[in-house]
Amino acid sequence: MTTSAASFSQDELKALVGQAALAYVVPGEIVGVGTGSTVNKFIDALATIKDQIPGAVSSSVASTERLKALGINVLDANEVASLSVYIDGADEIDGRGYMVKGGGAALTREKIVAALAERFVCIADASKRVEVLGDFPLPVEVIPMAAAQIANHFKAMGGRAEIRMKDGAPLVTDNGQHILDVRGLKIAEPLAFESEVNQWPGVVTVGVFAHQKASVCLLGTPEGVQTLNY
């Protein structure tokens, strides 16, 4: 299904897919909310129906602050047995609904909340759609003392891993860890890749979302919002 429209700016496309995601929010149920600029548009849209939901489970400090500022109740993930839907963006998404996420450094909490949800609805613009994952540098949250060892594992795969920096020092995640950004990989088998990297000591979370893949992608295109089902 495509919603026809004139050409849009990237910011307008983000607002369109954020609005379209409201259709997947189940009235009376808690919603899982991701992180990022596209999700911020969804949070703004969610505020217009906040009286229809008991609250949200958030994947980052930034999203929690935005939700609370708009008067949406935020629950801890430990308080929730399951979610009907988790709505989040992606840095890349392929034709099977497998994604690379973590450009905003919230991948661990995003994966935790996604794992609570029956359905993952990805909201993204058309530039995020790829044939094979790997053009976007793969984020991997790591325990700092293991960073060099993990970087060597990726080197053996043909990848180049670098610690993500911020203001001249390693970026520290909401969980107090560091992130490796890995370039030069082509991830043709995301499920097997995610399972393998998960086993390496010191890996907190790899930014391949294959075991928690998208069920639906609302893709912002120059013609409007395209709905992809997986």
Task: Enumerate the known binding-site residues for substrate.
Answer: 35-38, 88-91, 101-104, 128
Sequence ranges of the binding site? 35-38, 88-91, 101-104, 128
Provide the token pair at 142: 């790591």
Provide the token pair at 149: 């060892």
Q: How far is the C-alpha of 48 from the C-alpha of 41, rounded, in Å? A: 12
Which residue is associated with the tokens 């995301």? 190
Q: How far is the C-alpha of 96 from the C-alpha of 82, rounded, in Å? A: 24
Q: What is the DSSP track for 108-141?
A: HHHHHHHHHBS-EEEEEEGGGB-SSBTSSPEEEE
Annotated catalytic residues are: 110
Query: What is the four-CA torsion angle of 135, 139, 140, 141, rounded to 10 degrees?
Result: 180
